Chains A and B, each alone.
Chain A
Amino acid sequence: MAILDITDKLPNIEIENTPTNIDGVQPEYIAKPESPTDTVEILKYAHQKGIGVIPFGSGTKLGWGNPPQRCDLLINTTKLDKIIEYSPDDLIVKVQAGIKLEELQQELRKHNQMLALDPPEKSATIGGIIAANASGPRRLRYGTTRDLLIGITVALTNGDLVHGGGKVVKNVAGYDLCKLFTGSLGTLGVIVEAVFRLHPLPTKSFILKVNIKDLDQAERCTQQILNSYLVISALEAHCSSTGEVSLWCMVEGSSENIARSTAEALRQILSNYGDCQVFDLDEDIAVYDNLRQYPWEADDLGIKFSSTISRLKPIAMLARSTSQQHGCEFELRIHAGSGITYLAVKGGKNLPVDAQVSLIQSIREALTSEDSAMVLEASLPLKQRIDVWGYAGDALPLMKRIKDQFDPAKILSPGRFVGGI
């Protein structure tokens, strides 16, 4: 492989050997660019030489996606970790993509502000969160990356450093490249900078928890809360093989009074369904941290369902029956107000691979055309047999044409995305 001369060609960029292995594919090198210009130089070179590249930040989601068709070089963005511009009075921040979300939040907290994203992985970088479209419970109130990202800079394989959006929240000039790159999993370019709109930090937050009799009651309670006048930040349903169902609601207030009165109004609703526990997040932040987590552990199969609010129960029933058929326990964490469900099939990775494949297939066959099931945590043998994304729509040819425009040599994360993009 002619890749060796990469260090001569790009003398100012730190390039090392790497032990990191992505789904059985072993890249030779890892590059750690220190500037957007470095990044685009690497990409341009890789394009010219046909070198397969995968960009990543902290690596928390490197296991997502289909196994790459090839990868010679990893581009690690963690040295792109600066806050470029922070304007508290305008509630915007511009950062390099490799900064960790938590580090950014610490800076923002000094001005009583926050970036309203709360994905499970605390060490995740901004670039990784955008590329994987990671989100958390508070998406109910604040939306996801697509709602908060107002500007982006990306390095393209043609050697261009390209900007989309801007530094103002309201802006309709040109195509919305922010949306295009959100969730594109490193297949169109390398995200090097991002501009976000910010929110004021709430003064006081509570989480209320109620154990609920069954899924019917959980569904009723969900609708009752959503149809109330209460503004809540998160509404989570948990359920597992033990049969326990619980609902978790988060309220935030710009003043202590508001948070308390909202929590009290919510407690009255929840108390109709069971005993309600109230956690003050100034004392019990662990409750919130726990709420952010995916339900799965190392041996589990992890599936994300994209569905609608009213499908909470059918999806949960499907998760239960499929897990039981395969002799596995399960755990569900549902963004009940958004229709997003995370399922852990306990020990699922240890099942015979045929069983894993049939498990995923039977889930997908049972879904309506409105739903999809993406496999986020899986064993390599399973990933070699299925498309983890499960995209069944009619826009795949268009998506492939987009990929072809931005990465004609198919060097960027080849094969990891939907339909082998």
Chain B
Amino acid sequence: MNREQLIKKLVTIVGPQGVVHDREQLRTYECDGLANYRAIPTAVVLPETTEQVQAIVKLCHRHKIPFVARGSGTGLSGGAMPIEEGILISLSRMRRILEVDIPNQRVVVEPGVINLWVTQAVSQYGYYYAPDPSSQLICSIGGNVAENSGGAHCLKYGFTTNHVTGLEVVLPDGEIIHIGGKALDTPGYDLVGTVVGSEGTLGVVTKITLRIVRKPETVSTLLAAFDTIEQAGAAVSQIIASGIVPAAVEMMDPLSIEAVEAAVHAGYPKAGAVLIVELDGPFLEVEDQFNKVKDICLHNGSTEIRIARNEEERALIWKGRKSAFAAVGRISPNFYVQDGVIPRTALPDVLREIEEISAQSGIRVANVFHAGDGNLHPLVLYDASIPGQEEKAEQVAGEILSICLRYGGSITGEHGVGVDKKKYMPKMFSEEDMNAMHMLRCAFDPEGICNPGKVFPTPRLCGERPGPGKIHPLQEAGLAEIF
């Protein structure tokens, strides 16, 4: 089937308004939030119903055309980057909130629904949707499901995977399955848990049942300044060790503080490190624990503690933190957002090593992190107009991941592997581990047409199996090139 025929078929499924094929318009979709990987797809199709998604996927399956599902395109690992010669399925027109079920603490949505809309829909009943990635104003629930998005508050409340109870999925052969539901512990394999975080490689999610949680009675937020990162890190460890589970613990280093101040004037003090601690829950509990947190910060040498007295002050503290990535654009023409995880206790050691790499390479690194769960977001700053700097920055970013792994951590805490980090997968997982993951993939997508080329470093074939877990002979011989 040639391109014109394919577009004609897509138009019969979704109508002319639902297909983008003009080359200039296609450029809009050439990348997601990670702009240094780009590809222009054959066409972008914008379905409005599950049936349309199914028809598109069946068409792709019949003609072995690779496809990529995309939400708002805010992902930071290239997971929604299109495949050249493939179809991009944009789910942004499937944005209905289908059901709000307060007594059962569930909301059923379509994948294009924006994260924040869920909270807005249930706020009047005293509930909210807990996962809050920094992009929550624009990122979609479908994208959150694909990436298993986290956010600042997942220390206490968990990630997307802990808040999705049911899914409708169009499998890569066009079959529709309904897994999980409003109920928990449904019989069979935990396919919901398997699909969440699979980065769009196991199917296209068309309906999501979310768990919502009761709004806490009180939220208290403080900002504490320290002379050194070590002091701030010690305070975090002591808070956690005292049995307190804060809603959020965020840390920023001087470079990121400087950037944020230049950008949004959040009023952060000049300091060696800034810690944001938020507690939520019943009034008495928060009051009791908040005092402990203050004492711990002072005990660890905090030079200044600011307590948000009202919602505006709280919002200002968070505005600084949540705009940190964008703010860095003010102090550096280009930057790369890294996402690695370490055991929380390794924080001071890891930061020292990052500092050393930065000094050696001459590449500046600003550090912003979810300190409570050891999720680092080093911002690697560079100037692409200086020859060699981009490569050097990439090298620094890679070395940071190696450090994370050496301390027993992970190559990604919430941004996903996508195309960006697939080359690091073998550093974290053995060939056998990835082979098991590949077996899972073959059960879902034997043709390898669903978001191919993502997550795993080497494409493999399913199909005729020479034995469990064997690499396909064609691939072994270096002949398989399916993507």
Contacts and interface: CB of A to CB of B under 8 A. Distances in A.
Contact of B193 (A176, A203, A372): A176
Contacts of B421: 173
Contacts of A169: 373-374
Contacts of A167: 343, 408-409
B324 to A, nearest CB: 18
B436 A370 contact: no
Given A170-B410, A172-B413, A231 B434 contact: no
Contact of B469 (A158, A176, A310): A158
A254 B289 contact: yes
A389 B158 contact: no
Contacts of B283: 229
A243 B323 CA distance: 58
Contact of B190 (A112, A182, A226): A182
Contact of A173 (B182, B190, B217, B428): B428
Interface in B133-188: 147-148, 150, 154, 158-159, 161-162, 171, 175-179, 181-188
Interface stretch (A49-57, A85-93, A289-297, A320-328): A85-93
A88 B345 CA distance: 10
Contact of A395 (B183, B188, B440): B188
Given A174-B425, A258-B285, A166 B410 contact: yes
> In the complex, which of the residues A167, A169, A371 has the most CB atoms of chain B within 10 Å of its own CB atom?
A169
Interface in B336-368: 341-345
5 contacts: A168-B410, A170-B375, A175-B197, A180-B193, A310-B103
Pairs A-B, 7 closest by C-beta atoms: A179-B193, A200-B243, A229-B217, A158-B469, A160-B432, A158-B468, A171-B410
A340 B413 CA distance: 31
B392 interface: no
Q: How big is the B interface, by class?
A: 35 or more
A408 B216 CA distance: 49
A125 interface: no
Contact of A253 (B285, B409, B425): B285
B411 interface: yes
Contact of A168 (B158, B176, B408, B437): B408
A388 to B, nearest CB: 9
Interface stretch (B41-49, B86-94, B441-449, B473-481): B441-449
A1 interface: no
Contacts of B467: 158
A32 to B, nearest CB: 24
Contacts of A307: 183
A306 B186 contact: yes
A91 B6 CA distance: 53
A393 interface: yes
A308 B432 contact: no
B1 interface: no
A349 to B, nearest CB: 21
B255 to A, nearest CB: 23
Nearest to B286: A258
A187 to B, nearest CB: 9
Given A182-B190, A391-B186, A395-B178, 14 more contacts: A89-B241, A147-B162, A168-B409, A174-B425, A175-B455, A253-B285, A257-B288, A308-B106, A339-B182, A393-B186, A396-B188, A398-B175, A399-B189, A407-B468
Given A146-B193, A394-B176, A395-B191, A173 B429 contact: yes
Contacts of B389: none
A370 B183 contact: yes
B9 interface: no
Contacts, number: 273
Contacts of B186: 306, 372, 391, 393
Contact of A200 (B181, B245, B345): B245
Contacts of A399: 188-189, 191
Contact of B436 (A87, A162, A200): A162
A175 B194 contact: yes
B200 to A, nearest CB: 12
A236 to B, nearest CB: 15
Interface of A: 47, 87-92, 112, 133, 135, 143-144, 146-147, 154, 156-164, 166-180, 182-184, 188, 199-201, 203, 223, 226-227, 229-231, 253-255, 257-258, 261-262, 265, 304, 306-310, 338-340, 370-372, 374, 389-391, 393-399, 401-402, 404-408, 417-418
Interface of B: 103-106, 126, 147-148, 150, 154, 158-159, 161-162, 171, 175-179, 181-194, 196-198, 214, 216-217, 237, 240-241, 243-245, 281-285, 288-289, 341-345, 370, 373-375, 408-417, 421, 425, 428-430, 432-437, 439-444, 455, 465, 467-469
A226 B104 CA distance: 10
B285 A405 contact: no
B100 to A, nearest CB: 13
Contacts of A370: 181-183
A172 B443 contact: no
B181 to A, nearest CB: 5
B147 A160 contact: no
Given A173-B410, A394-B178, A227 B344 contact: no
B341 A170 contact: yes
Contacts of B196: 176, 179
